[in-house]
Structure 1
Amino acid sequence: MSESADSLQALQERIMELEIKASYTEDLLEQLNMTIYRQQEQIGALINELRELKRQTPDGGAGGPRNLRDELPPHY
Structure 2
Amino acid sequence: MENPELIDHRLTELEIKTSFNEDLLEQLNQIVFRQQEQIDALIREVRELRRQQPENSGGASGPRDELPPHY
TM class by shorter chain equals 0.7 to 0.9
- For the pair 1:73 / 2:68, whether they are aligned, the reply is yes
Q: Which has the larger radius of gyration?
A: 1
Give me the TM-score of the superposition, normalised by structure 1. 0.72
Distance 2:66 2:53 in 1: 16
Q: Runs ≥4 in structure 1, deviation > 4 angstroms?
A: none
Which residue does the alignment assign to 1:39? 35
Cα deviation 1:13-36 (Å, max 9, x = unaligned): 011100111011101100110111
Output the TM-score relative to the length of structure 2.
0.76
Aligned to 1:22: 18
Unaligned runs of 5+ in 2: 56-61
Can you give the 5+ residue segments of structure 1 that lack an aligned partner in the other structure?
Answer: 60-65
Shift of 1:71: 3.2
**Cα offset, 1:58, TM superposition:** 1.5
Q: For the aligned residues, what is the CA RMSD?
A: 2.2
Higher RCO (C-alpha 8 Å, min separation 6): 1
Aligned residue pairs: how many? 64
Aligned to 1:52: 48
